A and B are shown apart, each in its own frame.
Chain A
């Protein structure tokens, strides 16, 4: 069964191909069956492959499809490499992907681009699978760009809106900036190792480099550049909020669960390089910490339901980066998985709400949905609770707690990381429940036009269950000490060495975390349910700051000013190509001479005689007086 690993990415690819080629001629039922069914099969296959892989006890499985290209020293294969890390990822991708596909069948039912949507979505799943299964960095890059393309296509799915297209291009271009850094990183890796095979690089790296080798640091930074682009981290985070222009399932799958965590995958995959480059690793943490705060505060001020979730995604990935920064690899991957569950859930639920309210995105025009959409309400609440990391019952608590703890106690952790994470936790709780209260409590402001059906509710329920229970596979020391997940990853990803004598503080940290999360929820309750006026007062008293946060800390304005406008300006003023002026000038000079010379051909005989005389004088002068 493990031999069929290649089928996992191939199935979605075939399905995408069919839908692109003949999709327009298929009925939506057939298209849906092909689109969702292929992912379903892939998910099933993943489980079977995973079962066999786990039971085989082997570290890794390699499937070489064909030799891709080989020239000079460079040799790349089209090969899939399965190990415990990629196993987690393909599981999340196919399984969550499958749920989202099911959801999409109903969500997109009315859309005329139904089959196109599924084609793109399948293509995305295929690319994402290639990304995480790639055995060399070139193939990974293929997947990496492939998901970028699909993200572009899906953000701009409703293409007749100009702003959707803008958001799509913005997403593609900004991630490409990161990709450029990553590509250069690949060039450097190749120069050092003469291969781009991931496993070869990882085995050789410790032999070639000592810890802190400048080349290692440089390469780690360049790869980090790719990661921050894809994962919407500082300073390339600005595309993600705009990416919400895409349909909600897209936001759920691509911009929450899978693609945006590709950066996390990349860094985790290359963790040996980062271990050898402590400076770069520290910066991974710093970027994570700063991003999670910035995005968290921005999330506080948004009124578009999906933008809140987008900023929250940035913030949560910040947590993962923070975890990687302190070397808590498995914690990062764990948070990735749990985050995939609850954030997909939140997006899907939000999508259902938006669809129910006739494509209304503004939270302040929702309200009172608690009773009208109970299933949605409850599942959303569970997701929110998990996001806010409400203690003990939610999966989010366990994953985030682990990060907080290791940021504090880990050898590479420090107080600032911890404080940032802690502040982030409070902020998360506040904006999450602000969202819940505004959307579902209070009085209804918009009529419900569509009640979600089974295809929407079932995925929500499954995801809700996972958001609650998923955390119990990894429990902290103080609460049962279950380490299924980190054990599973341990051969691959090293665990964190703790600072000496710090274990005893674990319970205190947990207590503080729990208290702060609950406090945040209560704070939100006061502001948005008990005394809504208070929130308005706060808002008006800090209007400038509010607006600044609302605009995402003005990064967009900055980039526009520094990069986009100069580029467009330069391009515009030089539309007619200044270099061409040079050649036009040459022509003009020649024409000038022409005009001048033509005057000498006056047609008057004596003038011509004069010409001969002048010539004669010239010749005589030269012959008699010039001695060359």
Chain B
């Protein structure tokens, strides 16, 4: 490991040291504000380092990691998303009695895991990143100990994640046994050489798909999503929905592209089936859901299905579409859960549909932002979600995946129903009796500014996506 390697890993160092710094800071004095500031600053510093230095020094760190444009972009995305989650979290946790400071350690570690995940090019780093992410998430999910549901969600996630990790690991072991390499490139080289894939490798990849599919929350590995979304604190849900899933998508893209997986019709078939099942089952499950968190969980299943359509389309446009969709989905999901978090109170999160009745008249801006997010999820123009969906459709059509594309359209329509149902409730003339107790207004400023930035970028990307498109195109090249 030379100096260059060390330099290029600085973004990871910063995150780890931030975690340690907070750790020490807590042992000196518990102060939510200070911890919060440390977290925000370290995330920002990391981001600026990334964009200032790393982007100019692209290189692999043999044998585990690779710092390339794609990786940098994804780390940047993860950092910003984490930042947004942290910003939302402040107000959310301020009104709760539990110890809030460790939360920031955990979330920074989770971000670290995701960052490792997206730049890994080796099974070992993949595994490490994944597990750092997962273990942090177990604790994050169950963070609000006093809620009965949080430990239920935690244990469910833990058992299932470990269970699926076992599949992933076993799959890796099989692949390794056959190919003798744990580097993606090495495996790819071996397969190219071998002409035909032996059964053991196929089985290995198959088992790895289980592990990956679980993290992505696609059908039939989706069942944890609603329960975990419901049981976790709203900011954590946002984090799971974005960073955890997005990191896995990025990894999948890298792995598949390195292996040039598009030539293996078997795996394409598997993913096609998973995509179709995810779209249908996710959307249909959401139809009559009364819990907003669960509704968003089901909708996320469907959205991952949409994403798989772009993924399956492959080629350059497909990759661009995947990334763009991810960005749009990140913004939208953060926005949605951000609103949910701001509306939550000490006892419980604002998760019932009834909590939103007549919101437009009570808190018009909040309602409009939430509507914008929902419309973006539904893929309505003026929002980033629309351009994302457009991108996905374009990718699908370019490679003639008509079946997928038409199923996507059908599902968009089904999905529309529950998004507008939620909007309709917010626009209802009756108002919910529930009013959340008000904290000091300053507390909300952070959240409000975050939401404002999110909604502005939502519209900005929706109306003028050219910049984002160029950026993504550069990154992929």
- Binding stretch for chain A, among B40-48, B157-165, B331-339, B388-396: B157-165
B265 touches A628 (CB 8 A): yes
Chain A residue contacts of B210, Cβ below 8 A? 612, 615-616, 619
Q: Does residue A590 face the partner (Cβ distance < 8 Å to B)?
A: yes
Partner of B267, one of A593, A594, A618, A623: A623
A605 close to B203 (CB less than 8 A)? no
Bound CA–CA A616/B164 (angstroms): 10
Q: B262 → chain A, closest Cβ, in Å?
A: 13
A66 within 8 A of B: no
Q: B68-84 CB contact bits vs A (8 Å, 1 = yes)?
A: 00000000000000000
Task: Assess whether B155 is in contact with A605, with CB atoms less than 8 Å apart.
Answer: yes
Contact of B284 with A622 in the complex, beta carbons under 8 Å? no
Q: Which residues of chain A from 547 to 606 have a CB within 8 Å of any chain B CB? A: 590-591, 593-594, 597-598, 600-601, 603, 605
B210-261 contacts to A (CB < 8 Å)? 210, 213-214, 219-224, 226-227
- A609 within 8 Å of B by Cβ? yes
A608 CB-CB contact with B under 8 Å: yes
Inside 8 A of B471's CB, which chain A residues have their CB? none
How far is A618 from B268 in the complex, measured between Cα atoms in Å? 14
How far apart are the CA atoms of A611 and B222 in the complex, in Å?
8
Pair A605/B209 contact, Cβ less than 8 Å: no
Report the Cα distance A253→B311, complex, angstroms. 80
B436 to chain A, nearest CB (A): 28
Known contacts being A591-B287, A624-B202, is A612 close to B273, with CB within 8 Å?
no
Check if B414 is an interface residue, CB within 8 A of chain A. Answer: yes
List residues of chain B with CB within 8 A of the CB of A55: none
Distance A614 CA – B224 CA, assembled complex (angstroms): 15
Quick one: which of B220, B265, B288 contacts A591, CB cutoff 8 A? B288
A65 CB–B CB distance under 8 Å: no
Which residue of B has the minimal Cβ distance to A609?
B163
Inside 8 A of A597's CB, which chain B residues have their CB? 281, 284-285
The answer to whether A608 touches B270, judged by C-beta atoms less than 8 angstroms apart, is no
| Pair B206/A608 contact, Cβ less than 8 Å | no
How many Å lie between the Cα of A608 and that of B225 in the bound state?
Answer: 10
Q: Is B442 an interface residue (CB 8 A)?
A: no
Cβ contact within 8 Å between A612 and B265: no
A68 contacts chain B at the CB level, 8 A cutoff: no
Interchain CB contact under 8 A, B220 and A623: no
Chain A residues with CB under 8 Å of B203's CB are 620, 623-624
Contact A603 B227 (CB under 8 A): yes
Interchain CB contact under 8 A, A594 and B270: no
Q: Which residue of A lies closest to B197 (CB)?
A: A623
Q: Is the CB of B285 within 8 A of A598?
A: yes
Contacts of B268 in A (CB 8 A): 628
B365 within 8 A of A: no
Max chain B CB contacts within 10 Å: which of A591, A607, A623, A628? A623
A590 near B284 (CB under 8 angstroms)? yes
Measured CB to CB, the closest approach of chain B to A600, in angstroms, equals 7
A627 within 8 A of B: yes
Which residue from B159, B223, B267 sits with its C-beta under 8 Å from A600? Answer: B223
Looking at the assembled complex, report how far the CB atom of B63 sits from the nearest CB atom of chain A, in whole angstroms. 28
Contacts of A628 in B (CB 8 A): 265-266, 268-269
- Asked whether any CB of chain B lies closer than 8 Å to the CB of A626, the reply is yes
Determine whether B199 belongs to the interface, using a CB cutoff of 8 Å to chain A. yes
Instruction: Give Cα A615 to B223, complex, Å.
Output: 11
Within 8 A of A (CB), among B264-322: 265-270, 273, 281, 284-285, 287-288
A108 to B447, CA, bound (A): 79
* B329 interface contact, C-beta 8 A: no
On whether the beta carbons of B287 and A616 are closer than 8 Å, the reply is no
Kindly identify, within residues 412 to 436 of chain B, every residue whose CB is under 8 Å from any CB belonging to chain A.
414
Contact residues in A for B207 (Cβ distance below 8 Å) = 616, 620
A321 to B268, CA, bound (A): 81
- Which A residues lie within 8 Å of B156 (CB)? 605, 608
B330 contacts the other chain (CB 8 A): no
Which residues of chain B are near A591, meaning CB under 8 Å? 287-288
Contacting B159 at CB < 8 Å: which of A603, A609, A618? A609
Closest residue of chain A to B219 (Cβ to Cβ) is A615
Nearest CB in chain A: distance from B23 CB, A: 32
Most buried by A among B205, B224, B268: B224
Measured between beta carbons, the chain B residues less than 8 angstroms from A627 are: 266
A198–B305 Cα gap in the complex (Å)? 68
Inter-chain contacts of A611 with B (CB < 8 A): 220-223
Q: How far is the CB of A253 from chain B (nearest CB, A)?
A: 57
State in angstroms the CA–CA spacing of A612 and B210 once bound together: 7
Known: A590-B414, A597-B284. A612 touches B163 (CB 8 A): yes
Q: Are A618 and B226 in contact (CB under 8 A)?
A: no
Q: How far is the CA of A603 from the CA of B284 in the complex (A)?
A: 18
Return chain A residues, CB-CB under 8 Å to B281: 597
Assess whether B167 is interfacial by the CB under 8 Å rule.
yes
Complex: A593 Cα to B298 Cα, angstroms: 14
With A and B bound together, what is the CA distance between A614 and B219 in angstroms? 11
Q: Which of A120-160 contact B (CB under 8 A)?
A: none
A622 to B203, CA, bound (A): 10
Do A622 and B270 have beta carbons less than 8 Å apart?
Answer: yes
A620 contact from B206, B227, B288, Cβ within 8 A: B206
Name the interface residues of B153-211: CB closer than 8 Å to any CB of A. 155-156, 159-160, 163-164, 167, 199, 202-203, 205-207, 209-210
B269 adjacent to A608 (CB under 8 Å): no
In Å, the complex CA distance between A164 and B300 comes to 65
Bound form: Cα–Cα A600–B268 in Å: 26
Instruction: Quote the shortest CB–CB distance from B150 to chain A (angstroms).
Output: 15
How many angstroms between the C-alpha atoms of A611 and B266 in the bound complex? 21
**Which chain A positions have C-beta within 8 A of B220?**
611-612, 614-615, 618
A615 / chain B contacts, CB cutoff of 8 Å: 210, 213, 219-221
Provided the pairs A590-B414, A628-B265 are in contact, do residues A601 and B223 lie with their beta carbons within 8 angstroms?
Answer: yes
What B residues does A593 contact at CB under 8 A?
284
Q: A276 CB to closest chain B CB, in angstroms?
A: 59
Of B163, B167, B288, which is within 8 A of A594 by CB? Answer: B288
A257–B221 alpha-carbon span in the complex (Å): 86
Known: A605-B159, A608-B223. A616 touches B266 (CB 8 A): no
Knowing A597-B284, A608-B156, A612-B164, say if A623 contacts B206 (CB, 8 Å): yes
**CA gap between A619 and B267 in the complex, in Å:** 9
The residue from A594, A614, A616, A626 contacting B284, defined by CB atoms under 8 A apart: A594
**Contact yes or no, A626 B163, CB < 8 A:** no
Q: What residues of chain B lie closer than 8 Å to A619, measured between beta carbons?
A: 206, 209-210, 270
Question: Closest CB-CB distance, B474 to chain A, in whole Å?
Answer: 35
Q: Across the two chains, which residue of chain B brings its CB closest to A607?
A: B223
Given A607-B223, A619-B210, also A594-B266 (CB < 8 A): no
Is A590 a contact partner of B287 (Cβ separation < 8 A)? yes
Chain A residue at minimum C-beta to C-beta distance from B282: A597
Taking the nearest CB of chain A, how far is it from the CB of B2, in angstroms? Answer: 41
CB neighbours of B159 from chain A (8 A): 605, 609
* Docked CA distance A609–B160 (Å): 7
Known: A626-B269, A627-B266. A601 touches B414 (CB 8 A): no
**Is there an interface contact between B163 and A601, defined as CB atoms closer than 8 Å?**
no
Roughly how many angstroms separate A188 CA and B5 CA in the complex, as a whole number?
88
Distance in Å: Cβ of A84 to nearest Cβ of chain B: 68
Contacts of A600 in B (CB 8 A): 223
- Chain A nearest CB: distance from B415 CB in Å? 11
Check A612 against B226 for contact (C-beta < 8 Å): no
Those 7 A-B pairs whose CB atoms lie nearest each other, nearest first: A615-B220, A608-B223, A623-B206, A628-B265, A616-B210, A594-B287, A611-B223
Pull 9 A–B residue pairs with CB atoms less than 8 Å apart, ordered by A.
A594-B284, A597-B281, A601-B223, A615-B220, A618-B220, A618-B273, A624-B199, A624-B202, A624-B206
Q: Give B contacts to A, CB under 8 Å.
A: 155-156, 159-160, 163-164, 167, 199, 202-203, 205-207, 209-210, 213-214, 219-224, 226-227, 265-270, 273, 281, 284-285, 287-288, 414
Add 15 more A-B contacts to A597-B284, A598-B288 (CB < 8 A).
A594-B284, A594-B288, A600-B223, A601-B285, A605-B155, A608-B223, A608-B224, A609-B160, A612-B220, A615-B213, A619-B210, A619-B270, A622-B266, A624-B199, A628-B268
